[in-house]
Chain A
Amino acid sequence: METCINLNDLNKWFGSFQVLDSINLSISTAEKVVICGPSGSGKSTLIRCVNALEPFQSGSVNVCGISVEKNGRNATDIQRRVGMVFQQFNLFPHLSVLKNCTLAPCRVLGLSDDEAGAKAMHYLERVRIPEQASKYPADLSGGQQQRVAIARALTMEPELMLFDEPTSALDPEVVTEVLDTMVDLAETGMTMICVTHEMGFAKQVADRVVFMDEGKIIEIATPEKFFSEPTHERTQFFLSRVLG
């Protein structure tokens, strides 16, 4: 299978604190990987290194055949190919939903307003929210905002999608609508890395589950194996807490 992401001996420090400790991970095209672990374990930092939002000190990050430079000099090349959905949605507050989705296609890809608009509506329909196109982010619920954020990322037609705890900031009753959208997306064959605590989603969608703690990858396994017979003690402890 074709490799989409390859992380080789990746290390990152914030000052003297090591957030990522010798990370090795390879992800194939169309693969769905869920990363979980206690907070502060480096999950978010890891995926932020994948789309060059964070610099790193040693090791290599290879995304879509491009090697990410440590200082992030070729960040834009990577970021055009990688879509990201943030915990806090990060929709542009000064633009309508539609404009949020057309800004990048117009300015970065150079599409005309009409082309970008058509594309944006296509993806807004896909996340089942086209009727909100004229509204502003502040007028939408958290779940709706997050679906718009997914549509916005998709308008750039990324080769892979990163999700950084996409449901953690949501009210419980709207978590499902976002997860359903992500399941739909997974079915289209998109390569996905999701940092999430939604273990149901991991069981349903993930090809592999990665468990991280203190900046290290502790365990990588298929969901069946991960949830039924985790090998590492720390994984067992984590699962006992998350699954209750």
Chain B
Amino acid sequence: MRERRGKEFYVLAIFFTVFVIFLYGPVSAILILSFQGPNGGLTFPMNGVSIHWFFALFGEQLVGDFKAAFLRSLQLGLVVMVVTIFVSVLTGLAFRKKFFGSTFLFYTTVSSLIVPSILVSLGIGLLYNLMEWEAAWYSSGMGAHLTWTLPFGFLIMIAVFNRFDRSYEEAAKDLGASNWQTIRYVVLPIIAPSLIGVALFGFTLSYDEFARTLMTSGVKNTLPLEIFGMTTNVTTPTLYALGTLTTIFSLVVILTAMGIVFYMQKRRERFGTDAGKGV
């Protein structure tokens, strides 16, 4: 006999269903509409099925410069990712000890997450204006992205190091390891899965960042800005094709990260058996 389900099960089930529809409904609509026939419009019904708009996306008739914007966002995301990992690991290590001003530094860093993004963007934009520097996606834009990704990375690393058992380091020290060797061969490998998480987080936060980029990207747009611009002047399903492509790209990034984690686990297992065979 199965246990009878209570009322709360059905309430939660309905809530969850609505949530899923709300989350994936619009995305699916865009996905489907991007395969609109050559004579189809921006809305249902579908007028045939084709991949016409994907070709149109790379054609010259397009108003926006999607490819360059994508490349800019990609480069920016990668640089921001690397800086975020590097800095958050170091700050995470530093914050394992109390030091003069550590509490103050902690709150000033994290407050960047509370300040409305558009204000951060405006502030950086104004500063560049005042100093008569030229704002650009790779300078002011990158700074703006880092104000977003670094506090996140920093918080993750604090959580990671809170759980990290320092006795592993003591064991390494006792075996004669220098500080660097302890970090390199013991600490970093143990926290590696978290680092992949920080990397993925840093990249995606930067890749789809809109508000903080708005006033800081200078004359050239990042992809989210470009897409936003296109919504106002592109009136064909090309827009949907672009949406589909960028979504696929995000999925590929996430799957790659998962693949790396999976590979690391497999490699661990394989090396395990190798060792036993005396290879």
Please report A residues at the B interface, Cβ cutoff 8 Å. Answer: 51, 53, 75-76, 79-80, 82-84, 86, 88, 90-99, 103-104, 107-109, 117, 133-136, 149, 152-153, 156
Contact = CB atoms under 8 A, between A and B. Distances in A.
B191 to A, nearest CB: 9
A86 B170 contact: yes
Interface string B144-174: 0000000000000000000001011011111
B171 A86 contact: yes
Contacts of B165: 90
A152 B176 contact: no
Nearest to A94: B189
B188 to A, nearest CB: 10
5 contacts: A86-B167, A90-B167, A90-B168, A99-B271, A134-B272
Contact of A107 (B167, B177, B190, B276): B177
A78 to B, nearest CB: 9
Given A86-B171, A90-B168, A92-B168, A134 B273 contact: yes
Interface stretch (B38-46, B117-125, B127-135, B178-186): B178-186
Nearest to B277: A134
A152 B277 CA distance: 20
Given A51-B174, A156-B176, A98 B190 contact: no
Given A133-B276, A134-B274, A90 B170 contact: yes
A52 to B, nearest CB: 8
Contact of B272 (A96, A107, A149): A96
B143 to A, nearest CB: 35
B266 to A, nearest CB: 14
